[in-house]
Structures are given as structure tokens and as C-alpha cells.
A and B are shown apart, each in its own frame.
Chain A
Amino acid sequence: MFSSLAMRTITDFSRALAAKQVSAVELATDVLAKATAAKGLNAFLHVDADLTLAEARAADKHIAAGVTSKPLLGVPIAHKDIFVTRGWRSTAGSKMLANYVSPFDATVVERLRAAGTVCVGKLNCDEFAMGSSNENSAFGPVQNPWDTGRIPGGSSGGSAAAVAAGIVPATTGTDTGGSLRQPAAMTGITAIKPTYGRVSRYGMIAFASSLDQGGPMAHTAEDCALVLDAMAGFDERDSTSLDSEKAKVSIWQGFSAQIASKPRPNGEFAGLRIGVPEEFFTEGLSADVSTRVTEAIDTFKKHGATVVDISLPRTALAIPAYYVIAPAEASSNLSRFDGIRFGHRAAHYADLNDMIATSRAEGFGREVQRRILTGTYVLSHGYYDAYYLQAQRVRRLIAQDFQTAFKSCDFIMGPVAPTTAWKIGEKSSDPVAMYLEDIFTLGVSLAGLPGMSVPCGFDHQKLPVGLQIIGNYFEEPAMLAAAHRYQQLTDWHLQIPGGGK
């Protein structure tokens, strides 16, 4: 029987399919078997072989017909359970939606299917994408394939683990304050959160509307470019989706043009200016992470890049600003879960108000309740100006700080997270300690900028470390290309848990 064990990237999968070494159905069957074998990771929340094989059969028909317009034809992927899907349950990691099946597909799901992918199932995540460790899922934590006693990061923890464990070559995730970048860093894979508005939010179960952004997770920057290209684009069903000229430029074409081989006599990265913010290298940063990230930046430097010192003075302020704005929006976004039309409804209640209150108290987990309460508080009469409006002002200042920084550099680089993956349960009793883990990713989200996580080595416990690359709006093709060229010079992204390459 065919085994995809040695195959990691989309390119590997596509090549095998194109060469007719394997059919999409055989590949899907193999991937489903790998998902079952890796059940202990708890990465998948719903797998349905019939649904997957139906998609694989459709892909095989297209392959037989010689269809060339589908760049991801037959490639198995899986979706974070924040994206709604027909057929598979869409739970958002919550008891509230434990049995919910959507009557429509998210735009991202629709587009990736149109590009030819075969969906293998739905992936575990923190409840309503609220968390940095995937411990807030109502369906249990996800294990990090590098050390199953540790968290894979969050909230896209299932998406990260499924790629890191080599089950599927790519997955979708969402990032509100770091939920793509941080789990990618903790599991040694590559991910990109695009410019806010690049990827349609239609069918993404909302956490914080002004911050939520979907994106791909994969082993390589090249694969991220392929998947993001298929996901992105204007969607009339999302009013915040971007329709500008810059947004229309194809990510894959931009990426391809950037990586086209041409003589670079002064080094691979000659002319590239990398800004390194002093605020990203402070006392909270673990020594291993600091060292690995500095080494990565040195690699760019060694190959021709210039490094400039920059300042993002309000880096620390991003935490309070984010933890006002995101809960405020969440408190309102989650109001629709009232047990009336869909979702969990309490079995016993006194009256209408009690039905709504009890259903919500039973259906939402602790962290979600904490954020709803926080959000409700900051929007309340008398507190709105002091918290919500003030946070919005800080948000604008943070965005300005980035623009000031981009005057002297092309990309900003630094760590994704202050530490590597921690042990399951280690921080779950201290929400503030958990919030502090997001310090390097929140500003990018508040500013709506694109940000990447690229594997750049390991700490002394052989736990992956991620390099964050932050670009200006719409710079995804250039960022992906820089990451790709870095990955041509390094092999961190090819290492797999359990040793070997």
C-alpha cells in the first residue's frame, strides 16, 4: 500500500499526484489513517471518511480530465473548527456548538475546495479562538508533537499540530492576536497572518471582528504562498474585505516573481533592510529564544541584509489595548449564542431570561465567560470612554509606530513569543501570565499588518523557536519570498518531531 509517510510539503503531494504515483483517493485514505493513528494529539475534532473520500473522488475525476486550473488539486488539507463547513460539525471548540452543522461553507472553505483541495476534517482550537495554548477547548487540549506533555500554542493549536505531526501538508487557521503565528512557532512550522481584509471573514465564527484574519499553516513559506493565494481575495459577503488595487495583485504571482532566480552578487538578501525593535528583546524573553532569533537575523545579515535598530515604543501597551478591544467585540459577537435558534439550550430554566443566561453559563467555558464579562464591562455606560475609546486611541498610535518604523526598514524581525512551548496545565490558572505570552504578536494584529512565523531553531529541550517577520500592508508576497529564501539556506522547517528530516 502507498504511504505518504515521507511526504511533507504540498509540492511533494502535488508531484506524486501529477505523476500518477498515487490517486487523490489513495492519498486521502492514507491521510485519514495517519489522523487516526495520531488520535492522541487530539488535533482533529471531526473526521468523516465518507465526506473526505467524496471530495477525493471528485479530485481524481478532475485529474483524469486533465484539469490544470486547480493549483491544489487532490491536496489533503484540514480546517480550523472556526471555519463553518457543510457536512462536518463546526464547533469553534465550544460546548455551545457541540452538535452544530452549518448550512453553508465559509468563503475560505469554498475557495480552497474550488482550488482542488480535499478536506480531511476539522481541527481543534481554543474555544472561539480565545487562548494561547489550546487548553481552552471544550474538547480537551491538543498535544504538541515535539513533546506531547506540552501545549502546541493557540488558538490554532490543532491546525499547528496536524501539520507538525505530518498528517496534512497544510491547514487553515485564524489569528486575532497571534493565533496563527504563536502555535506555528511552538510547533516548528510556517504560518502567515495576512493584512487585515485580505482573507474573507464570511463563515469564520467571529471572535473580534476588527482583528480576526484567516491564514495558512504549512511547513514551508512556499506552501503558505500557495494556500494563501487560494484563500485570499475580495468577497462581497464581507464588508471589511479589501477590494483595492494592491489587494488584487496575486500573492502567488508576486511570490513567484520575487523568488525567480537572478544573480545576487552581493548576497541573497542584498538591499533588504531589517528593523529589529529593541522592545522585542527585553527581560521577559527567554535566552534560548533570544539566541535563536538573533542567529536567524544574523543569517539574513550574512547574506547581504542590513540590520537597523528601530523602536516600537508602545509594544507593552498592546496587551491592555488588545485585552479591551478584543473582549469588547467578543462580548457582542457572542451574544447570538442564546440557545434560541441553534446551539446549546439549558434543560432546566425558570423563564426566558433564565433560559438565555443558563444556556450561556452552561455552554461557554471559563475563558470565554471571562472575556465576555470584561468586554461587557469596558463597553458599559461610564466606562466606555476610559477603556474602549482609550484603547482605540492606543491602537491608532501603535499603528503609527509601525509606519514610522517602516520608514527605515522593509521588514521588522523578532521573536514570535517570549518562550517555547510550556507544559500543559502550567499556566492555566493564571490568565494574565497567559496574556503576556502574546506581547510580540498583538501589536501586529492591532495595526492590521501581515505577520509571519518561520522556524529558526530549537531551544535546549529541542522545542521549536519561531522568527517573526512583520511587513507593511500588502507585503505578503515579499515576506513569503524572503522566508522562502531563508528556508533555502536553513533546514529548521524540515525537521520533524521524533528526530530526523
Chain B
Amino acid sequence: MTWEIVIGIETHVQLATRSKIFSSASTAFGAPPNTQASVVDLALPGTLPVMNKQAVEFAIKFGLAVNDGQTHNIARRSIFARKNYFYPDLPKGYQISQFELPVVTGGFVDIQVGEGDTATTKRINLTRAHLEEDAGKSLHEGLETPGVSGIDLNRAGTPLLEIVSEPEMRSAAEAVAYAKALHGIVTWIGICDGNMQEGSFRCDANVSVRKPGEPLGTRCEIKNVNSFRFLERAINYEVRRQIELIEDGGKVIQQTRLYDADRDETRAMRSKEDAMDYRYFPDPDLLPLAINETQIETTRGLMLRDGVIDVPGSTRQQLIDAYDLSVYDAQLLTQSRAFATCFFAAYNSSGEQAKLCANWINGDLASQLNRDGIELADSPVNGDQLGRLVKRIADGTLSSKMAKEVFGYMWAGEHGGDADAIIEARGLKQVTDTGAIEKIIDDVLAKNEKSVAEFKSGKEKAIQALIGQVMKASQGKANPGQVNELLRKKLAE
């Protein structure tokens, strides 16, 4: 009997608010240590937390985005609680979080399972999402005095939305698909910058294995995974470890494990026995967080204005239904708001060439981004420019091969990435003048009597060699369709 893998994911999403969740200090990343910590973040005596309204608005946005715009999953009253423990980078000696009554309960994320045209949709339900503050950072290396640890409280008080999924993923691939879909949602609705390297989007995976039909196995929580690739590798390692352990007669112990990317393994950090008693209790410094219908509807209005009430799920469906794209194309185009925005811009400037635009964005553009290791937001070629290139393919000005060449020049920034200017300057127009093509054909036919004879004796394939010769003679500028058509006419004469 095979093993069934059970995965649930907890994600810490850093909210892209201007200031911290309970103080007015800035949340900008990368400032010199302790320059973005106010008296509140330092927990100086007498200081008190004040709720950041933008963080609440972001939580509402998330609630709307993961529930088809329905509002019953958004708590009208939620409670901030204190999670008590001592650590040098936790200034108050407690973290303000939400425990019993979180701001969002329920919702779902749809993920694509499988690839290509056989891809299907699977719904992953969310348990909850709650607001909390981040801790600071302890620095144990790279300080001027050796053997001394430093504390940077710039991050202390940065707002987080912790999103907890149900344990409904059944493979590392599904877990990655979920993480990517969630990443897509939070960046799409603009509540997170999605930067995994800077820790803006952090996933912890709860992994267990069982025989199908049996109760849930003992789980381990994997922490410290800062890319989708590592998430997949960490889960696969952990699954192997657990199966081997059980098959060797051992037992999985509930513990927290750290993923070490260099050695591609997970290591035990602490087990349940040493789990701390956090002594949660409602924070008496903060009133219950009240959210009313007006706030929810105002937020919905903002999302409609920004065009983000369309969460990836529904835009994906729109791409399939109204733009006639494949599930696979639609999935790729909705991996982030940037991709979708790029597609719609390209579609508009290309003369509504949906399929061609999708091919170009998911193909040449995506692989070029990948090669250069940059984000779509930083791409030298934007959707509008790409659309204008696609337009020239559609109207026959460029062959697809020539279009790739033009794209290369656009990427290099020639003529401000303007396809038409490049075509003009480089003389890359397809030859569509019948007379000119006929002249080349006559020339080629005269020089390739053997191929002509073969074709006439019924060898259909011989025409490919002749087309190739014509294209070569035209330096690739002749319209291949026209060449085909004229050549057959001549050979039939």
C-alpha cells in the first residue's frame, strides 16, 4: 500500500503598509539597524500600541479575495491577544497576535493540479488568517565585536497576516502550487510585495504521512523555507524521512524542523515536549477589533476601483471563457497581477490577438525574464510594447522568426523598445510583393532541378527544400505562406 502525504501550510505575509502595525515607524526594508524603531517598537516604559487602520483594510481585502467577494468570513469583532515569551528581539516580552478570534475565518484558494491541457482545479480551504506583529532580528555574525550578538528592531512591529490552510495538499507539487497561488493573491490585491528573499512571504509546512483512510499521522513543521523550490525540496525530503522512519519501525515525533538548503535536509529544532506555554490572554491595551459593513463595502469599492476584486480565480476563468485561452495559458497569466496586467495591455495594443499574446508572454518573455533573473515589473519590454510586436506578426509584417529577432532588439532597448521603429531601421519587413517573390522562386527553381523533378514525381517532401532555398535567398524576409502558395502554383504550371 502506498503512503498518502498530508500537507498544511502556514504563511506569514508581511503587509505592505507604510507604517508598523502598532506604531508610526516606517516599515521600509534595508535601513541601518534600529533606525526604524520608535519608542513603541522599543517597548519603552509607558508606551502603548495603536492599531494601524491600513493593516485592517488589508486583512479585509484578503478576506474578500479568498471568498469570492463574500463577507461572512470576515470577523466583525476579533481580539488581539498577547503571546508571552522572552527573547532579546521581542522587545515587549510578548507578541501581539490574534488567538481565539482571528480577523478572517475560512475562505479558499484554488490551485492548478497537473500541467498543460490536462490541468485540473483543486480547492484548498483556509482555516484562518490573523493579524500580528513581527519580531526584530538577532544578528549573531558580522558584528564589529566578536562574540557579541546584536539586535535590530527595524522589523519589530511590522504587520503580518498569518494565513493557515487546512491540511488538504497531497504532494509537494500541490503545496508549491498553493504557495504560488497564495503569493499570486496577496500580490494581486496589493497587500504584500511578495519578496521572498526579504522575508515578505514566508511559508512553514506541516507535513505528515499516513496510509489512505487512516487517521492523520504525527506532523512535523518545517520552517525556514524562503523559495518555492526549497519548499518543494524540503517537503520531499521530510516525506522521505518520515516514510523511512515508519517503515524502519520508528515513530514520527511531533517537532519543528529547520530546512537547511545547503545540505537539502530538515533538522530538528524543538519538539512538542519543549513547546513553550505562551500564556495567551486578550491584550488589555487594545480594544476588540471591530469591522463594520461600511468598512467592508468601502474596501470592496477600493478593490473594484483598482481592478483587483477580480482575484486570480475569476480572472483565470475569464481568460478561458472570454479570451478562449487554454487552462494552462490562463494559469500562467494569472500567476501574478503583473502577468495579467501585461497580458491585457498586450491584448489591447495587438489588435486583440489573445492566443499570440499569451504565447509570447508565457514563452519568449517569461524565458527571457528567467534567463536575466528579473521580475516582470523590471522587464525592459512591457505589455503594450509586446502587443505592438504581436500586431506586426498578425498582420504579416513579421514572420515569427523575424519577430524573435525584433524582440531581441527590443529587450536590448533599441529605439525605446518600439517594434515598428526597429523594423523600419533594420529593414526587417517581410517581403510580400508577389513579383519580388516570384523572381526569387524562378531563380531557385532554375538552380534546383533535382528537387523539382522529385516533387513532380510525387515526392511531396521535396517542396520543403525549395521553400527553404527561397527563404534563404530572401534573407528570411519573404512571407513563408506566400512562398508556399506561389511555389506550388509555379510547380503546377
- A interface list, Cβ under 8 A from B: 83-84, 90, 92, 97, 100, 102-104, 106, 201-206, 208-210, 236-240, 328-329, 331-332, 334-336, 338, 340-342, 352-353, 356, 376, 379-381, 384, 388
Evaluate contact between A239 and B88: CB separation under 8 angstroms: no
| Contact present for B287 and A240 (CB under 8 Å) | yes
Q: Compute how far the CA of A106 lies from the CA of B94 in the bound complex, rounded to whole angstroms.
A: 22
Asked whether A353 and B49 contact (CB < 8 A) given A209-B284, A336-B91, A379-B279, the answer is no
Contact with A along B33-46 (1 / 0, CB 8 A): 00000010011111
Contacts of A329 in B (CB 8 A): 284
Residues of A within 8 A of B280 (CB): 379
Closest Cβ of chain A: how far from B143's Cβ, in Å? 15
A-B contact pairs, 11 of them (CB 8 A): A84-B45, A102-B44, A106-B46, A236-B50, A237-B48, A328-B281, A335-B92, A336-B91, A356-B86, A381-B277, A388-B281
Q: Contacts of B44 on A, CB cut-off 8 Å?
A: 84, 102-104, 341-342
Contact assessment for A239 and B286 in the assembled complex, using a CB-CB cutoff below 8 Å: yes
Give the nearest-CB partner of A357 in chain B.
Answer: B86
- Contact string against A for B residues 18-57, beta-carbon threshold 8 Å, 1 for contact and 0 otherwise: 0000000000000000000001001111111111000000
Residue among A92, A342, A379 with max Cβ neighbours from chain B (10 Å): A379
Max chain A C-beta neighbours (<10 A), residue from B39, B92, B279:
B279
Are A341 and B91 also in contact (CB < 8 A) when A236-B50, A239-B49 are?
yes
* A-B pairs with beta carbons under 8 A, tally: 98
11 A-B pairs besides A208-B284, A335-B94, A336-B93 with CB distance below 8 A are A90-B45, A90-B46, A103-B44, A205-B46, A239-B48, A239-B50, A240-B286, A332-B82, A332-B94, A342-B44, A380-B279
B contacts, CB < 8 Å to A: 39, 42-51, 82, 84, 86, 88, 91-94, 149, 151, 277, 279-281, 284-287
Q: Tell whether A380 pairs with B50 under 8 Å between CB atoms, given A335-B86, A340-B88.
A: no
CB-based contact A379/B84 at 8 Å: yes
A338 in contact with B82 (CB, 8 Å): no
| Complex alpha-carbon distance, A206 and B47, angstroms | 9
A341: contacting residue among B43, B48, B86, B94, CB under 8 A: B43
CB of A332, distance to nearest CB on chain B (Å): 5
B280 to chain A, nearest CB (A): 8
- Cβ B281 vs Cβ A379 within 8 A: yes
With A92-B45, A209-B285, A356-B86: A239-B277 Cβ-Cβ less than 8 Å: no
Which are the 9 A-B pairs with shortest beta-carbon distances? A335-B93, A209-B284, A210-B284, A379-B279, A203-B46, A336-B43, A84-B46, A205-B45, A381-B277
* Residue in A closest to B88 when the chains form the complex, CB atoms: A340
- A206 CA to B151 CA, complexed, in Å: 24
Residues of B close to A208: CB separation below 8 A: 284
Nearest-CB residue, chain A, relative to B86:
A356
Cα-based distance from A384 to B51 in the complex (angstroms): 26
| Complex contacts, B94 vs chain A, CB 8 Å | 332, 335
Which residues on B sit within 8 Å (CB–CB) of A84?
44-46
Contact of B39 among A104, A236, A376, A379 (CB under 8 A): A104
Residues in A neighbouring B45, C-beta threshold 8 A: 84, 90, 92, 97, 100, 102, 205-206, 336, 342
CB-nearest residue of chain B relative to A236?
B50
Complex Cα distance, B284 from A57, in Å, reads: 40
Report the bound CA distance from A210 to B282 in whole Å.
11
Contacts of A202 in B (CB 8 A): 46-48
CB distance from A380 to the nearest CB of B (A): 6
B46 CB contacts on chain A under 8 angstroms: 83-84, 90, 102, 104, 106, 202-206
B86 x A332 contact (CB < 8 A): no
Q: A240 to B285, Cβ gap below 8 A? A: yes
Q: Which residues of B contact A97 (CB under 8 A)?
A: 45
Is the pair B286, A380 in contact by a Cβ cutoff of 8 Å?
no
Decide if B279 touches A376 in the complex (CB within 8 Å). yes
Q: Of B42, B88, B279, which contacts A332 at CB under 8 A?
A: B279
Interface centre among B277, B284, B286 (most CB of A within 10 A): B284
Smallest CB gap from A106: residue in B: B46
Q: A355: shortest Cβ distance to chain B, in Å?
A: 9
Check if B281 sits within 8 Å of A332, measured CB to CB.
Answer: yes
Cβ–Cβ < 8 Å partners of A331 in chain B: 84, 279
Contact between A237 and B50 (Cβ–Cβ < 8 Å)? yes
The answer on a CB contact under 8 Å between A238 and B48 is yes
- In the bound complex, how far is the Cα of B44 from the Cα of A341, in angstroms? 9
Docked-complex contact A103 and B281, CB < 8 angstroms: no
Which of A103, A334, A352 has a CB less than 8 Å from the CB of B88? A352
Residues of A within 8 A of B287 (CB): 239-240
Chain A residues positioned under 8 Å from B281 (CB to CB): 328, 332, 379, 384, 388
In the complex, are the beta carbons of A335 and B84 less than 8 A apart?
yes
Q: Once the chains are docked, how many angstroms separate the CA of A293 from the CA of B46?
A: 37
Most chain B CB atoms below 10 A, which of A103, A239, A352, A380: A239
